[in-house]
Protein backbone atom coordinates (compact mmCIF):
# COMPACT_ATOMS: atom_id res chain seq x y z
CA UNK A 1 0.00 0.00 0.00
CA UNK A 2 2.84 2.35 0.89
CA UNK A 3 4.53 1.59 -2.44
CA UNK A 4 1.33 2.43 -4.33
CA UNK A 5 1.05 5.72 -2.45
CA UNK A 6 4.64 6.59 -3.27
CA UNK A 7 4.15 5.79 -6.97
CA UNK A 8 0.94 7.85 -7.15
CA UNK A 9 2.65 10.74 -5.37
CA UNK A 10 5.54 10.63 -7.82
CA UNK A 11 3.11 10.60 -10.76
CA UNK A 12 1.25 13.58 -9.26
CA UNK A 13 4.53 15.44 -8.73
CA UNK A 14 5.73 14.66 -12.26
CA UNK A 15 2.48 15.97 -13.79
CA UNK A 16 2.65 19.09 -11.62
CA UNK A 17 6.23 19.77 -12.71
CA UNK A 18 5.26 19.14 -16.32
CA UNK A 19 2.41 21.67 -16.07
CA UNK A 20 4.83 24.25 -14.68
CA UNK A 21 7.58 23.59 -17.25
CA UNK A 22 5.35 23.09 -20.30
CA UNK A 23 6.59 25.53 -22.99
CA UNK A 24 4.40 27.84 -25.11
CA UNK A 25 1.85 28.41 -22.38
CA UNK A 26 0.38 31.67 -21.08
CA UNK A 27 1.00 32.32 -17.35
CA UNK A 28 -2.75 32.27 -16.67
CA UNK A 29 -3.01 28.85 -18.27
CA UNK A 30 -0.08 27.59 -16.23
CA UNK A 31 -1.63 28.84 -12.98
CA UNK A 32 -5.03 27.37 -13.84
CA UNK A 33 -3.60 23.93 -14.50
CA UNK A 34 -1.46 24.00 -11.34
CA UNK A 35 -4.59 24.82 -9.32
CA UNK A 36 -6.55 21.98 -10.92
CA UNK A 37 -3.76 19.48 -10.24
CA UNK A 38 -3.18 20.67 -6.63
CA UNK A 39 -6.83 21.00 -5.60
CA UNK A 40 -8.02 17.82 -7.34
CA UNK A 41 -4.96 15.55 -7.13
CA UNK A 42 -6.35 12.35 -8.66
CA UNK A 43 -8.89 13.84 -11.02
CA UNK A 44 -6.57 16.72 -11.90
CA UNK A 45 -3.86 14.34 -13.10
CA UNK A 46 -6.35 12.47 -15.28
CA UNK A 47 -7.79 15.68 -16.72
CA UNK A 48 -4.30 17.01 -17.44
CA UNK A 49 -3.38 13.75 -19.13
CA UNK A 50 -6.45 14.03 -21.38
CA UNK A 51 -6.66 17.78 -21.98
CA UNK A 52 -3.60 19.50 -20.57
CA UNK A 53 -1.40 19.58 -23.65
CA UNK A 54 -1.86 20.28 -27.32
CA UNK A 55 -0.70 16.86 -28.42
CA UNK A 56 -1.75 15.91 -31.94
CA UNK A 57 0.49 12.85 -31.93
CA UNK A 58 4.09 12.38 -33.03
CA UNK A 59 3.17 10.50 -36.20
CA UNK A 60 0.80 13.25 -37.32
CA UNK A 61 3.36 15.95 -36.62
CA UNK A 62 6.00 14.01 -38.56
CA UNK A 63 3.53 13.47 -41.40
CA UNK A 64 2.68 17.18 -41.47
CA UNK A 65 6.33 18.21 -41.63
CA UNK A 66 7.01 15.68 -44.35
CA UNK A 67 4.06 16.89 -46.45
CA UNK A 68 4.86 20.59 -46.06
CA UNK A 69 8.47 19.89 -46.92
CA UNK A 70 7.50 18.36 -50.27
CA UNK A 71 4.99 20.98 -51.42
CA UNK A 72 6.04 23.55 -54.01
CA UNK A 73 5.80 27.29 -53.25
CA UNK A 74 2.35 28.87 -53.32
CA UNK A 75 3.41 31.01 -56.29
CA UNK A 76 4.48 28.83 -59.26
CA UNK A 77 7.95 29.52 -60.64
CA UNK A 78 6.37 30.68 -63.91
CA UNK A 79 4.42 33.41 -62.09
CA UNK A 80 6.90 34.57 -59.48
CA UNK A 81 7.78 37.70 -61.45
CA UNK A 82 4.15 38.79 -61.86
CA UNK A 83 3.80 41.93 -59.74
CA UNK A 84 0.00 41.68 -59.93
CA UNK A 85 0.13 38.68 -57.62
CA UNK A 86 2.03 40.53 -54.91
CA UNK A 87 0.82 44.12 -55.23
CA UNK A 88 1.89 47.01 -53.05
CA UNK A 89 -0.71 47.19 -50.30
CA UNK A 90 -1.65 50.44 -48.54
CA UNK A 91 0.78 51.42 -45.82
CA UNK A 92 -1.86 51.31 -43.09
CA UNK A 93 -2.38 47.56 -43.57
CA UNK A 94 1.00 46.34 -44.86
CA UNK A 95 2.03 45.27 -41.36
CA UNK A 96 -1.19 43.26 -40.97
CA UNK A 97 -0.40 41.18 -44.03
CA UNK A 98 3.13 40.74 -42.67
CA UNK A 99 1.68 39.13 -39.55
CA UNK A 100 -0.44 36.84 -41.75
CA UNK A 101 2.59 35.96 -43.88
CA UNK A 102 4.50 34.90 -40.77
CA UNK A 103 1.90 32.18 -40.11
CA UNK A 104 1.92 30.22 -43.38
CA UNK A 105 4.37 32.07 -45.60
CA UNK A 106 1.54 33.32 -47.82
CA UNK A 107 2.05 36.82 -49.17
CA UNK A 108 -1.10 38.80 -49.97
CA UNK A 109 -2.27 37.94 -53.49
CA UNK A 110 -3.72 40.69 -55.64
CA UNK A 111 -6.26 40.34 -58.42
CA UNK A 112 -9.22 39.02 -56.42
CA UNK A 113 -12.94 39.70 -56.52
CA UNK A 114 -15.60 38.49 -54.11
CA UNK A 115 -19.07 38.99 -52.74
CA UNK A 116 -20.90 38.16 -49.55
CA UNK A 117 -23.63 35.56 -50.06
CA UNK A 118 -27.10 36.56 -48.89
CA UNK A 119 -27.62 33.90 -46.23
CA UNK A 120 -26.83 30.27 -45.37
CA UNK A 121 -29.20 28.71 -47.90
CA UNK A 122 -28.07 31.11 -50.61
CA UNK A 123 -24.44 30.21 -49.86
CA UNK A 124 -25.15 26.52 -50.45
CA UNK A 125 -27.20 27.21 -53.59
CA UNK A 126 -24.38 29.37 -55.00
CA UNK A 127 -21.85 26.70 -54.10
CA UNK A 128 -23.88 23.98 -55.81
CA UNK A 129 -24.20 26.13 -58.95
CA UNK A 130 -20.41 26.54 -59.02
CA UNK A 131 -19.95 22.81 -58.51
CA UNK A 132 -22.32 22.09 -61.40
CA UNK A 133 -20.22 24.40 -63.59
CA UNK A 134 -16.86 22.93 -62.50
CA UNK A 135 -14.67 21.72 -65.34
CA UNK A 136 -11.60 20.19 -63.72
CA UNK A 137 -11.79 19.64 -59.96
CA UNK A 138 -13.70 20.28 -56.74
CA UNK A 139 -11.92 20.17 -53.40
CA UNK A 140 -13.77 20.70 -50.13
CA UNK A 141 -13.40 20.17 -46.40
CA UNK A 142 -15.98 20.78 -43.67
CA UNK A 143 -15.90 20.40 -39.92
CA UNK A 144 -19.62 19.57 -39.72
CA UNK A 145 -21.43 18.01 -42.67
CA UNK A 146 -24.99 16.97 -41.93
CA UNK A 147 -27.45 14.78 -43.78
CA UNK A 148 -30.00 17.55 -44.06
CA UNK A 149 -31.31 19.51 -47.02
CA UNK A 150 -28.16 21.56 -47.66
CA UNK A 151 -25.79 18.75 -46.78
CA UNK A 152 -27.43 16.39 -49.26
CA UNK A 153 -27.48 19.11 -51.94
CA UNK A 154 -23.70 19.17 -51.78
CA UNK A 155 -23.55 15.35 -51.84
CA UNK A 156 -25.71 15.30 -54.99
CA UNK A 157 -23.62 18.01 -56.66
CA UNK A 158 -20.42 16.06 -56.00
CA UNK A 159 -21.93 12.91 -57.49
CA UNK A 160 -23.09 14.81 -60.59
CA UNK A 161 -19.66 16.39 -61.04
CA UNK A 162 -17.85 13.06 -60.66
CA UNK A 163 -20.23 11.48 -63.20
CA UNK A 164 -19.20 14.00 -65.86
CA UNK A 165 -15.48 13.50 -65.22
CA UNK A 166 -14.66 16.26 -62.74
CA UNK A 167 -12.17 15.12 -60.09
CA UNK A 168 -13.87 15.51 -56.71
CA UNK A 169 -12.22 15.25 -53.32
CA UNK A 170 -14.28 15.66 -50.16
CA UNK A 171 -12.93 15.66 -46.62
CA UNK A 172 -14.85 15.84 -43.35
CA UNK A 173 -13.76 15.95 -39.73
CA UNK A 174 -14.04 12.59 -37.99
CA UNK A 175 -15.89 13.99 -34.97
CA UNK A 176 -17.93 16.87 -36.35
CA UNK A 177 -19.15 14.90 -39.38
CA UNK A 178 -19.28 11.44 -37.84
CA UNK A 179 -22.91 10.82 -38.83
CA UNK A 180 -22.24 11.73 -42.48
CA UNK A 181 -19.09 9.59 -42.59
CA UNK A 182 -21.04 6.57 -41.30
CA UNK A 183 -23.98 7.18 -43.62
CA UNK A 184 -25.08 5.67 -46.88
CA UNK A 185 -24.52 9.07 -48.53
CA UNK A 186 -20.79 8.79 -47.87
CA UNK A 187 -20.68 5.35 -49.48
CA UNK A 188 -22.76 6.58 -52.42
CA UNK A 189 -20.27 9.36 -53.07
CA UNK A 190 -17.45 6.84 -53.14
CA UNK A 191 -19.38 4.60 -55.50
CA UNK A 192 -20.03 7.60 -57.76
CA UNK A 193 -16.28 8.27 -58.02
CA UNK A 194 -15.87 10.98 -55.38
CA UNK A 195 -12.60 10.63 -53.47
CA UNK A 196 -13.35 10.93 -49.75
CA UNK A 197 -11.14 11.30 -46.71
CA UNK A 198 -11.59 11.63 -42.95
CA UNK A 199 -9.71 14.38 -41.15
CA UNK A 200 -8.15 13.44 -37.81
CA UNK A 201 -9.68 9.95 -37.39
CA UNK A 202 -10.30 9.05 -33.76
CA UNK A 203 -9.76 5.30 -33.82
CA UNK A 204 -9.89 3.40 -30.54
CA UNK A 205 -11.32 5.65 -27.82
CA UNK A 206 -9.27 3.94 -25.14
CA UNK A 207 -5.98 4.24 -27.01
CA UNK A 208 -6.59 7.69 -28.51
CA UNK A 209 -5.35 9.63 -25.44
CA UNK A 210 -2.02 7.83 -25.74
CA UNK A 211 -1.64 8.93 -29.37
CA UNK A 212 -2.95 12.49 -29.16
CA UNK A 213 -5.90 14.53 -27.96
CA UNK A 214 -9.32 13.53 -29.23
CA UNK A 215 -10.61 17.11 -29.24
CA UNK A 216 -8.04 18.52 -31.70
CA UNK A 217 -10.29 18.97 -34.71
CA UNK A 218 -10.21 20.23 -38.29
CA UNK A 219 -12.61 23.15 -37.91
CA UNK A 220 -12.00 24.49 -41.43
CA UNK A 221 -14.64 25.21 -44.05
CA UNK A 222 -12.90 25.33 -47.44
CA UNK A 223 -14.11 24.84 -50.99
CA UNK A 224 -11.86 25.23 -54.04
CA UNK A 225 -13.25 24.86 -57.56
CA UNK A 226 -10.98 24.74 -60.62
CA UNK A 227 -8.22 26.51 -58.70
CA UNK A 228 -10.01 29.85 -59.19
CA UNK A 229 -13.19 29.92 -57.08
CA UNK A 230 -13.06 29.52 -53.32
CA UNK A 231 -15.36 30.02 -50.36
CA UNK A 232 -14.54 31.19 -46.86
CA UNK A 233 -16.71 31.83 -43.82
CA UNK A 234 -18.24 30.37 -40.70
CA UNK A 235 -20.85 28.06 -42.21
CA UNK A 236 -20.69 24.31 -41.99
CA UNK A 237 -22.31 22.13 -44.66
CA UNK A 238 -25.74 22.20 -43.05
CA UNK A 239 -29.10 23.91 -42.91
CA UNK A 240 -29.42 27.01 -40.72
CA UNK A 241 -31.93 25.01 -38.65
CA UNK A 242 -28.92 22.89 -37.57
CA UNK A 243 -31.00 19.93 -36.49
CA UNK A 244 -28.36 18.49 -34.16
CA UNK A 245 -28.98 21.51 -31.89
CA UNK A 246 -32.36 22.80 -33.03
CA UNK A 247 -33.31 24.79 -29.93
CA UNK A 248 -30.60 27.37 -30.73
CA UNK A 249 -31.57 27.72 -34.40
CA UNK A 250 -31.27 29.35 -36.74
CA UNK A 251 -27.49 29.29 -36.98
CA UNK A 252 -26.60 32.69 -38.47
CA UNK A 253 -23.50 32.56 -40.66
CA UNK A 254 -21.63 34.62 -43.24
CA UNK A 255 -19.88 33.15 -46.28
CA UNK A 256 -17.93 34.93 -49.02
CA UNK A 257 -17.36 33.64 -52.53
CA UNK A 258 -13.95 34.62 -53.91
CA UNK A 259 -12.54 34.45 -57.43
CA UNK A 260 -8.88 34.90 -58.21
CA UNK A 261 -5.41 33.86 -57.10
CA UNK A 262 -6.51 33.69 -53.44
CA UNK A 263 -8.05 30.33 -54.31
CA UNK A 264 -4.50 28.98 -54.66
CA UNK A 265 -3.76 29.65 -51.01
CA UNK A 266 -6.91 27.82 -49.93
CA UNK A 267 -5.87 25.09 -52.37
CA UNK A 268 -2.53 24.88 -50.59
CA UNK A 269 -4.25 24.41 -47.22
CA UNK A 270 -6.61 21.78 -48.62
CA UNK A 271 -3.78 19.91 -50.35
CA UNK A 272 -1.73 19.78 -47.17
CA UNK A 273 -4.72 18.55 -45.15
CA UNK A 274 -5.51 15.91 -47.77
CA UNK A 275 -1.95 14.64 -48.09
CA UNK A 276 -1.66 14.28 -44.32
CA UNK A 277 -4.75 12.06 -44.34
CA UNK A 278 -4.32 10.28 -47.68
CA UNK A 279 -1.25 8.84 -49.37
CA UNK A 280 -1.79 10.85 -52.55
CA UNK A 281 0.50 13.56 -53.90
CA UNK A 282 -1.52 16.61 -54.96
CA UNK A 283 1.48 18.91 -55.35
CA UNK A 284 0.85 19.39 -59.08
CA UNK A 285 -2.23 21.48 -58.27
CA UNK A 286 0.12 24.06 -56.76
CA UNK A 287 2.29 24.23 -59.88
CA UNK A 288 -0.44 25.31 -62.29
CA UNK A 289 0.09 28.77 -63.83
CA UNK A 290 -2.43 31.38 -62.77
CA UNK A 291 -5.13 32.51 -65.16
CA UNK A 292 -4.92 35.76 -67.09
CA UNK A 293 -7.18 38.71 -66.39
CA UNK A 294 -5.93 39.52 -62.91
CA UNK A 295 -7.47 42.61 -61.38
CA UNK A 296 -8.87 43.27 -57.95
CA UNK A 297 -8.04 43.60 -54.27
CA UNK A 298 -5.29 42.01 -52.12
CA UNK A 299 -6.23 39.05 -49.94
CA UNK A 300 -4.41 36.50 -47.82
CA UNK A 301 -5.29 33.12 -46.34
CA UNK A 302 -4.35 32.64 -42.69
CA UNK A 303 -4.55 28.98 -41.66
CA UNK A 304 -3.75 28.11 -38.06
CA UNK A 305 -3.69 24.98 -35.94
CA UNK A 306 -1.63 22.84 -33.58
CA UNK A 307 1.10 22.50 -36.21
CA UNK A 308 1.87 26.25 -36.30
CA UNK A 309 2.81 28.50 -33.39
CA UNK A 310 0.03 28.66 -30.84
CA UNK A 311 0.13 32.45 -30.66
CA UNK A 312 -0.63 32.85 -34.39
CA UNK A 313 -4.38 33.45 -34.30
CA UNK A 314 -4.31 35.76 -31.26
CA UNK A 315 -1.53 37.76 -32.93
CA UNK A 316 -3.66 38.25 -36.03
CA UNK A 317 -6.69 39.37 -34.01
CA UNK A 318 -4.65 41.67 -31.78
CA UNK A 319 -2.77 43.25 -34.70
CA UNK A 320 -6.10 44.15 -36.29
CA UNK A 321 -7.39 45.59 -33.01
CA UNK A 322 -4.31 47.77 -32.58
CA UNK A 323 -4.50 48.88 -36.22
CA UNK A 324 -8.03 50.28 -35.88
CA UNK A 325 -8.17 54.07 -35.90
CA UNK A 326 -11.86 54.89 -36.13
CA UNK A 327 -14.02 51.77 -35.95
CA UNK A 328 -13.68 48.15 -34.84
CA UNK A 329 -16.63 45.77 -35.07
CA UNK A 330 -16.39 42.10 -34.14
CA UNK A 331 -18.88 39.23 -34.22
CA UNK A 332 -18.01 35.94 -32.55
CA UNK A 333 -20.06 33.20 -30.90
CA UNK A 334 -17.31 31.99 -28.55
CA UNK A 335 -15.21 34.45 -26.58
CA UNK A 336 -12.61 33.32 -24.05
CA UNK A 337 -9.69 35.68 -24.75
CA UNK A 338 -6.20 35.64 -23.37
CA UNK A 339 -4.82 38.61 -21.46
CA UNK A 340 -3.14 40.24 -24.46
CA UNK A 341 -6.34 40.13 -26.50
CA UNK A 342 -8.34 41.70 -23.69
CA UNK A 343 -5.69 44.42 -23.48
CA UNK A 344 -5.91 45.03 -27.23
CA UNK A 345 -9.71 45.32 -27.15
CA UNK A 346 -9.71 47.68 -24.19
CA UNK A 347 -6.86 49.73 -25.69
CA UNK A 348 -8.88 50.24 -28.87
CA UNK A 349 -11.81 51.69 -26.95
CA UNK A 350 -9.57 53.69 -24.61
CA UNK A 351 -7.93 55.50 -27.53
CA UNK A 352 -11.29 56.54 -28.93
CA UNK A 353 -11.98 53.81 -31.48
CA UNK A 354 -15.69 53.00 -31.81
CA UNK A 355 -15.35 49.42 -30.59
CA UNK A 356 -18.28 46.99 -30.66
CA UNK A 357 -18.38 43.24 -30.09
CA UNK A 358 -21.48 41.14 -30.79
CA UNK A 359 -22.25 37.83 -29.09
CA UNK A 360 -25.25 35.50 -29.36
CA UNK A 361 -27.73 36.06 -26.52
CA UNK A 362 -28.23 32.28 -26.30
CA UNK A 363 -25.15 30.13 -26.77
CA UNK A 364 -25.07 26.39 -27.41
CA UNK A 365 -22.20 26.21 -24.88
CA UNK A 366 -23.39 27.58 -21.53
CA UNK A 367 -19.87 27.16 -20.15
CA UNK A 368 -18.31 29.38 -22.81
CA UNK A 369 -21.22 31.83 -22.54
CA UNK A 370 -20.68 32.18 -18.80
CA UNK A 371 -16.91 32.51 -19.20
CA UNK A 372 -17.47 35.18 -21.88
CA UNK A 373 -19.67 37.24 -19.55
CA UNK A 374 -16.93 37.28 -16.92
CA UNK A 375 -15.13 39.75 -19.22
CA UNK A 376 -18.09 42.09 -19.70
CA UNK A 377 -17.30 44.44 -16.81
CA UNK A 378 -13.73 45.16 -17.92
CA UNK A 379 -14.76 45.59 -21.56
CA UNK A 380 -17.60 47.94 -20.70
CA UNK A 381 -15.44 49.94 -18.28
CA UNK A 382 -12.98 50.57 -21.12
CA UNK A 383 -15.76 51.78 -23.40
CA UNK A 384 -16.28 48.66 -25.51
CA UNK A 385 -19.90 48.35 -26.64
CA UNK A 386 -21.37 44.89 -26.03
CA UNK A 387 -24.39 43.70 -27.97
CA UNK A 388 -26.25 40.39 -27.66
CA UNK A 389 -27.96 39.01 -30.76
CA UNK A 390 -31.48 37.57 -30.43
CA UNK A 391 -32.17 36.28 -33.96
CA UNK A 392 -30.72 32.80 -33.41
CA UNK A 393 -27.21 31.64 -32.67
CA UNK A 394 -24.93 34.23 -34.26
CA UNK A 395 -22.16 31.97 -35.60
CA UNK A 396 -20.45 34.52 -37.87
CA UNK A 397 -16.79 35.11 -37.12
CA UNK A 398 -15.99 38.53 -38.59
CA UNK A 399 -13.84 41.55 -37.82
CA UNK A 400 -13.91 44.83 -39.70
CA UNK A 401 -11.79 47.91 -39.12
CA UNK A 402 -12.18 51.43 -40.47
CA UNK A 403 -14.57 50.36 -43.28
CA UNK A 404 -11.56 49.10 -45.22
CA UNK A 405 -10.18 45.82 -43.86
CA UNK A 406 -11.97 42.56 -43.05
CA UNK A 407 -11.08 39.22 -41.53
CA UNK A 408 -13.60 36.43 -42.10
CA UNK A 409 -13.38 32.70 -41.55
CA UNK A 410 -13.75 29.86 -39.09
CA UNK A 411 -11.71 31.02 -36.07
CA UNK A 412 -13.46 32.01 -32.86
CA UNK A 413 -11.96 34.19 -30.16
CA UNK A 414 -11.45 31.39 -27.68
CA UNK A 415 -8.69 29.08 -26.51
CA UNK A 416 -10.01 26.21 -28.64
CA UNK A 417 -9.48 28.18 -31.85
CA UNK A 418 -6.16 29.52 -30.59
CA UNK A 419 -4.61 26.26 -29.46
CA UNK A 420 -6.57 23.22 -30.61
CA UNK A 421 -8.50 23.61 -33.86
CA UNK A 422 -7.27 23.80 -37.41
CA UNK A 423 -8.82 27.06 -38.64
CA UNK A 424 -8.99 28.98 -41.91
CA UNK A 425 -9.52 32.70 -42.44
CA UNK A 426 -9.09 35.26 -45.21
CA UNK A 427 -7.81 38.77 -44.56
CA UNK A 428 -8.45 41.35 -47.27
CA UNK A 429 -8.34 45.09 -47.91
CA UNK A 430 -11.21 46.38 -50.02
CA UNK A 431 -13.61 49.19 -49.16
CA UNK A 432 -16.55 47.89 -51.22
CA UNK A 433 -16.44 44.33 -49.85
CA UNK A 434 -15.78 45.57 -46.32
CA UNK A 435 -18.82 47.81 -46.70
CA UNK A 436 -20.87 44.69 -47.55
CA UNK A 437 -19.57 42.98 -44.43
CA UNK A 438 -20.30 46.08 -42.34
CA UNK A 439 -23.86 46.19 -43.67
CA UNK A 440 -24.30 42.56 -42.63
CA UNK A 441 -22.92 43.36 -39.20
CA UNK A 442 -25.37 46.28 -38.96
CA UNK A 443 -28.19 43.85 -39.73
CA UNK A 444 -27.03 41.78 -36.79
CA UNK A 445 -26.95 44.87 -34.58
CA UNK A 446 -30.57 45.62 -35.50
CA UNK A 447 -31.53 42.36 -33.76
CA UNK A 448 -29.43 43.00 -30.68
CA UNK A 449 -29.90 44.39 -27.21
CA UNK A 450 -27.22 46.49 -25.58
CA UNK A 451 -25.55 45.32 -22.40
CA UNK A 452 -24.35 48.06 -20.08
CA UNK A 453 -22.50 48.28 -16.78
CA UNK A 454 -25.81 48.73 -14.99
CA UNK A 455 -26.98 45.38 -16.36
CA UNK A 456 -23.82 43.66 -15.14
CA UNK A 457 -24.21 45.25 -11.70
CA UNK A 458 -27.70 43.73 -11.44
CA UNK A 459 -26.43 40.18 -11.87
CA UNK A 460 -26.78 38.14 -8.70
CA UNK A 461 -23.75 37.15 -6.64
CA UNK A 462 -24.26 33.54 -7.69
CA UNK A 463 -24.41 34.55 -11.35
CA UNK A 464 -21.20 36.58 -11.10
CA UNK A 465 -19.48 33.86 -9.08
CA UNK A 466 -20.22 31.21 -11.73
CA UNK A 467 -19.18 33.50 -14.59
CA UNK A 468 -15.92 34.45 -12.91
CA UNK A 469 -15.16 30.89 -11.83
CA UNK A 470 -15.55 29.65 -15.40
CA UNK A 471 -13.61 32.67 -16.63
CA UNK A 472 -10.75 31.69 -14.34
CA UNK A 473 -10.88 28.18 -15.78
CA UNK A 474 -10.91 29.55 -19.32
CA UNK A 475 -7.31 28.43 -19.94
CA UNK A 476 -8.35 24.79 -19.33
CA UNK A 477 -11.74 24.86 -21.09
Class of domain 312-476: alpha beta
Q: Fold identical between 58-85+109-297 and 312-476? A: yes
Question: Alpha carbon of 224 to those of 207, 434, 441, 474: distances in Å?
Answer: 35, 22, 26, 35
How far, in Å, are 52, 150, 240, 367, 394 from residue 467 at the CA level? Answer: 22, 36, 29, 8, 21
The residues that are catalytic are 219, 221, 226, 395, 397, 402
In words, the CATH class of domain 58-85+109-297 is: alpha beta
pLDDT of residue 402: 96
Per-residue pLDDT of the chain (477 residues; tens, 9 = 90+): 777 677 667 777 777 777 777 766 667 677 777 777 777 777 777 777 666 666 666 777 778 788 888 888 777 655 666 666 777 788 888 999 999 999 999 999 999 999 999 999 999 999 999 999 999 999 999 999 999 999 999 999 999 999 999 999 999 999 999 999 999 999 999 999 999 999 988 876 666 666 666 778 899 999 999 999 999 999 999 999 998 899 999 999 999 999 999 999 999 999 999 999 999 999 999 988 888 666 789 999 999 998 888 889 999 999 999 999 999 999 999 999 989 999 999 999 999 999 999 999 999 999 999 999 999 999 999 999 999 999 999 999 999 999 999 999 999 999 888 888 999 999 999 999 999 999 999 999 999 999 999 999 999 999 888 888 888 776 655
pTM check: above 0.85? yes
pLDDT at position 33: 73
The candidate with the shortest Cα–Cα distance to 324, out of 346, 304, 339, 296, is: 346
pLDDT of residue 90: 85
- Domain range annotation of the chain: 2-51, 58-85+109-297, 312-476
What pLDDT sits at residue 2? 73
Query: Which residues, in sequence order, are CB contacts of 292 under 8 Å at separation 6+?
Result: none
Cα separation values, 355 from 92, 150, 349, Å: 18, 35, 6
Instruction: Supply the pLDDT for residue 81.
Output: 64
Looking at residue 96, its pLDDT comes to: 96
Amino acid sequence: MLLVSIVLSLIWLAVLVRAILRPHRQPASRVAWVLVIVLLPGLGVIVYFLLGETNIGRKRVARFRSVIGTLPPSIPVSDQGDSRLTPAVPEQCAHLFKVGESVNGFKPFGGNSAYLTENSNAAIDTLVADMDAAQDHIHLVFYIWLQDNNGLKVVAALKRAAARGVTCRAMADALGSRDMIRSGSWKEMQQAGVHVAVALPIGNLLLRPLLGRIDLRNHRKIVVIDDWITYCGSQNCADPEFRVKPKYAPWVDAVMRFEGPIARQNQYVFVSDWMIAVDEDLGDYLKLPFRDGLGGFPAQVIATGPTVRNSAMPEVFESLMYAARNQLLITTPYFVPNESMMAALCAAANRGVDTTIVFPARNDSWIVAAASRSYYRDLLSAGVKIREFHGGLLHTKSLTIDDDITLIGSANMDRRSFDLNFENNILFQDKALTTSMRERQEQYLASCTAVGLADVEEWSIGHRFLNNLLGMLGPVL
